[in-house]
């Protein structure tokens, strides 16, 4: 495990290339016209998507490698995988819980959503849009998930996030209506009320409720 900002010794040429890219981005000349600036904004967006795809692959490969090493070291099967999410979380500056969810996404995206992953690799969609596809197909069988992926891929770049979410749900319902309804019924179990502090001695009260109860409460 490593600390934030700590660099691993003996880095590869590819790792050095990534570091050089980070340095280059931090030293871009501001002396450009607005045409260049807006081009950079678009290129930065594509770069974030490409980086997200590469980060997902690295994270998935790290998990596979760590589990293999733990098996070699004689770690009991039930304990294999411990500590992996914590290391990913530290590298990404997120909690181990969020890192564990991220690892699930990083694992299924290249294998079960190949068209979505290709769009992310090409910089044509955002990481969030790829996350929506994965989230809204999580309950489908692998075959149905791949069908949704292939059907929606050509439109992912043109649609809004909201439409991507709606169209994914619609496709999932068409392929497995019983599973969709079971998912909706299961979601009732996740209802909860939470409270977070807000500035100026205020608080934010949030409720996750079935739609009928939510409307009534509003």
pLDDT at 186: 66
In the predicted structure, residue 4 carries a pLDDT above the cut 90: no
Q: Tell me the two tokens of residue 148.
A: 């949704």
How many angstroms separate the CA atoms of 206 and 7, rounded?
40
How many angstroms separate the CA atoms of 201 and 194, rounded?
17
pLDDT at 106: 96
Indicate the SS3 state at residue 161.
helix
Query: What angle do helix axes 142-152 and 114-121 make, rounded to 10 degrees?
Result: 40
CB 84 within 8 A of CB 63: yes
In the predicted structure, residue 2 carries a pLDDT above the cut 70: no
What's the number of CA atoms in the CB half-sphere (13 Å) around residue 180?
14
The pTM assigned to this predicted structure is 0.79
Least confident range from 4-8, 55-59, 100-104: namely 4-8
102 membership: H or E segment, kind and range: helix 96-112
pLDDT in tens, 66-77: 999 999 999 999
Q: Tell me the two tokens of residue 87.
A: 């290391």
CB 107 within 8 A of CB 81: no
Give the rounded distance of the alpha carbon of 7 from its chain centre.
24
How many angstroms separate the CA atoms of 172 and 204, rounded?
34
* Residues in the chain, total: 218
In the predicted structure, residue 105 carries a pLDDT above the cut 90: yes
How many angstroms separate the CA atoms of 174 and 168, rounded?
10
Nearest to 105 by CA among 63, 150, 68: 63
């Amino acid at each position: 495990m490593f600390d934030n900002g700590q660099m691993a010794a003996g880095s590869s040429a590819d790792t050095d290339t990534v570091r050089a890219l980070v340095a280059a981005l931090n030293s871009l000349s501001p002396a450009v016209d607005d045409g260049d600036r807006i081009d950079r904004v678009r290129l930065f967006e594509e770069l974030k998507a490409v980086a997200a795809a590469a980060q997902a692959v690295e994270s998935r490969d790290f998990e596979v490698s760590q589990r293999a090493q733990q098996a070699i070291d004689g770690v009991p099967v039930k304990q294999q995988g411990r500590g992996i999410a914590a290391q990913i979380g530290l590298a990404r500056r997120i909690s181990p819980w969020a890192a564990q969810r991220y690892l699930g996404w990083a694992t299924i995206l290249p294998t079960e959503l190949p068209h979505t992953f290709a769009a992310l690799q090409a910089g044509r969609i955002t990481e969030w849009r790829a996350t929506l596809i994965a989230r809204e197909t999580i309950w489908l069988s692998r075959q149905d998930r791949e069908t949704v992926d292939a059907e929606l891929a050509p439109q992912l770049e043109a649609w809004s996030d909201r439409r991507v979410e709606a169209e994914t749900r619609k496709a999932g319902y068409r392929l497995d209506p019983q599973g969709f309804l079971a998912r909706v019924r299961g979601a009732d179990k996740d209802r909860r009320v939470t409270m977070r502090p807000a500035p100026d001695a205020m608080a934010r009260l949030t409720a996750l409720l079935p739609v009928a109860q939510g409307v009534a409460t509003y």
